[in-house]
A and B are shown apart, each in its own frame.
Chain A
């Protein structure tokens, strides 16, 4: 019994075996297997937490950009020059289309509907819809409100929500087309500034987009009870330029006329600057381009030439032509200033007292002969003995060689630097160049360089450098930094930034400046600048003509740059104007700054100064021919009418035997020159028939007046004033060959061709 109660040996072995093996299994499945699981869990959930969770969040959120409206560009009077408008972009979601039950039917509806609505290629839509892993394929960009509404209706009618959708976008409009195109610049497809001020101030204009971040499910639906976050949009700032739309318009109009009239091959530019601040009131380049279609070649001849090219050349040449038309000539091109530069040679000579302005005489025998250089004066016979002022009004090269030598190379070079010709002006525009001026060692080594530099040849400047320096001469010797941006205003109209006029340096004294203003006015009154003359506005300035050496070594082609730089009124300079025409055509003898560029500047002055409310101040001899306003004399007694007219300086012719005036010519309120003959009718009214305006171009003032008076219209002469030693001819007139009502006042511009510089 006792043995039986003992555990059997195999029972004991069995128990031990079970114990050991259960313990092994417990070790494996109760403990060991949890070790790798815990480690891996830690690795994924803790170590990789940040990275993978971010990816999870990225996939579970969509951010909807809220685009910032691009700021507006205004002129100084808040006229709009460039503005953005909301448009919409039509997109399809191929992924959502593919998921639809009737995917094929929907595809057909979409392709047919959108191609018809949006006028896009049906094949393109079909092809885009094949990209079924994409959720956003653009079909058409920048459609306007009305069309967008039609698309919305189309989506609703055909239940295409999420398959076709519209995204907000913005489009840049330039209300004035080609106006100020070379300075405003334009934007690319995405609304980023690509050229001009649009590019320079892109950051200001662009603002910063906002975002709405929204959690969504894997099917794109909003997550219940989940967050939405908003990042505020920062609307783009608007720019207020120093540009004055009206003055820019004057400059463009007159420049364009000149470029066409003078058959200018390499475009021309005109700049109008506020003398006292350096602010740019106008900066025009012609030919230009349409800002709304910047990639179209505006110049017809170039376009025809491009079309004639083969395909392989076309793309490259198109790109070159585009770059060329986008180029802002006023800051990016350089030219030899020629005689305009004599302003500075004269100014530095006065400042340095290198000349005695009252007593020194400068003789000119028609030739220059110094070691290493021989040249001629434009007046072959020579100017003879001249006062200092006369050297300037004659624009006499031999005299200026002399004056330059008196200043001395070191000072001369320093003044060139001081007037800003060695540096860019720092204007807030793209692509500003600076002229090529010889290093001092090279310049000073040769007397010949020193000689030709003093009348502005063999070095180059940009038009902007030149006008900035001319403004310094006019502005009491203060060189200002030119600028385009006046103010930055935020979306609420508050001023965020403001440009203050920046004085770069005082170059010459106020006394010298005052003297130069007088002298330069004389250059216009009786010198080579006479065609820039504007009655009552005291225009001062200097002309320049320079041969394009690089392209025309022999001078046979007659490639010239003609220019004029000046300011007005000379006693209190307000604006400075530069006009530069690159490679004008016409008769070679007329390719002169005084003949081609000065009248353009004159017209700009004539338009801009009255617009700026600068009050004309007539000199005694000008007052004799100043314009007067025709009085209202109808129903007055004949004697009273005659008295009123004569009091104003008009002459009178009475037609008929009545006792009181029944009609008058010109009509009341019209501005006419003094001594104009008023016609007073005492019986009936003035003849109603119109009259043909004869073409008086090429005629002298006397001949022209006679022709026009006989034709029944009045002449109003503008341009160069009559002087004993200049022959004036009509160069431009209104309404030539057209029918106008009797008594119309016709402006005729007279030009002196005796303006050789």
Chain B
């Protein structure tokens, strides 16, 4: 019996080892990787068109933006592939330092950061600029994933007091980060952090009753924030009718709407945008998607959204099939972050929501944010390499 047990145990261990080896050697999730590269490629092509005029005006070189973006995309693909080969469990150990660095940077930026339209969001590292909020987002995802997977039962408490104790640290971290961001101020960043944080808690198994309460509180806080401050209510007014101030406040969204509307079903054709010629400010940045619609039409724009849709669904598929709770949380967080960014960006460009500064993943210009985005994709691929065998390739 015992010998048999030993033998069986030996077999089991070996099987487990085999299994382990197989997962480690297994390839990354090819559909996800291909979607990332496809979107990156389309983004680069659009950068060539959208950045053409602005590049010529600002730097004298029409290819300035596409060149830099191309270099960063290649670097980003390399970073993604390298990170995908890491065992994602290293991120568990890395999560706390990452959060500390993020908080430090968020404090530092308030003193040394460079201003952008009235808000201080960038730290200049000489050869590149970095947004501490970008670091903070991924740090929150990693740290929450690590904390939740270490003590999962803390979130599933149904009684008030234990639940408060369980949820408390997370809330504290979110308040700390959001508070620091509010001092920049970085409204859209706060929305992203809070949304991603909420999704992490949701995936961590927070009881539905607390989700309802936290959700209601969050929506309430948001409403107060929007209606109580002049800054925000002004934005609401402009959102309802940008033409009340067509030269200043409403200018950018009007120009964006002109671009989107000019697209029609099939667009003006690649490179044929009118709005990129000094009408739509910084057409390579947050509003690049407007140029996508203008040049490629609703059809082209929907194809881009469909690719994002596939990427997001595949992301959640990977999260579902992740080997462990940490992996699931990590992938859910990153996928959600990407999805919310896509939603907010397209919603802003089409004036579905008031203007807020959010870039379009893979499309908007920005070296450091592209690198960070690709690193995040690398994290997802890293998890995808270590799925249980029977879930491979499904």
Contact = CB atoms under 8 A, between A and B. Distances in A.
B274 A215 contact: yes
A685 interface: no
- Most chain B C-beta atoms within 10 Å of own C-beta, residue among A25, A29, A59: A29
Given A29-B335, A37-B347, A56 B258 contact: yes
Contact of A56 (B247, B275, B335, B350): B275
A33 B352 contact: no
Interface in A40-77: 40-46, 48-49, 51-53, 55-57, 59-60
B297 A22 contact: no
Interface stretch (A217-225, A453-461, A506-514, A748-756): A217-225
B27 interface: no
A19 B320 contact: yes
B190 interface: no
Contacts of B371: none
A49 B347 CA distance: 18
B258 A26 contact: no
- Residue of B260, B305, B336 most packed against chain A (CB within 10 A): B260
B202 A41 contact: no
Contacts, number: 134
Contact of B203 (A21, A60, A219): A21
A41 B292 CA distance: 12
B387 to A, nearest CB: 14
Contacts of B199: 25
Given A59-B258, A218-B279, A41 B274 contact: no
B297 A25 contact: no
Interface residues of B, number: 50
Contacts of A30: 309, 312-313, 316, 339
B334 to A, nearest CB: 12
Interface string B202-216: 110100000000000
Contacts of B380: none
B281 to A, nearest CB: 9
Given A18-B203, A217-B278, A41 B302 contact: yes
Given A30-B312, A52-B258, A40 B350 contact: yes
B274 A14 contact: no
Contacts of B325: 14, 18
Interface in B230-254: 247
A219 B340 CA distance: 35
B340 A40 contact: no
A1 B260 contact: no
A36 interface: yes
B167 interface: no
Contact of B259 (A25, A56, A133, A215): A56
Q: Which of B259, B261, B265, B278 has the most CB of A within 10 A?
A: B261
A26 B316 contact: yes
A38 interface: yes
A9 B351 CA distance: 48
Interface residues of A, number: 42
A34 interface: yes
A17 interface: yes
Contact of B346 (A19, A41, A53): A41
A18 B261 contact: no
A61 B5 CA distance: 86
Nearest to A15: B320
Contacts of A217: 53, 277-279
A59 B247 CA distance: 12
A109 B298 CA distance: 51
Given A18-B320, A44-B351, A56 B261 contact: yes
Contact of A25 (B257, B298, B309, B316): B316
A60 B279 contact: yes
A159 to B, nearest CB: 21
Interface of B: 5, 8, 53, 57, 152, 199, 202-203, 205, 247, 257-265, 274-275, 277-279, 293, 297-298, 301-302, 305, 309, 312-313, 316, 319-320, 325, 328, 332, 335-336, 339-340, 342-343, 346-347, 350-352
Instruction: Give 10 closest A-B pairs by Cβ, nearest first.
Output: A218-B278, A52-B261, A29-B339, A56-B258, A217-B277, A30-B313, A26-B316, A218-B279, A40-B352, A40-B350
Given A33-B343, A60-B279, 10 more contacts: A22-B320, A26-B313, A34-B305, A36-B352, A40-B347, A45-B265, A49-B263, A49-B264, A60-B275, A219-B278
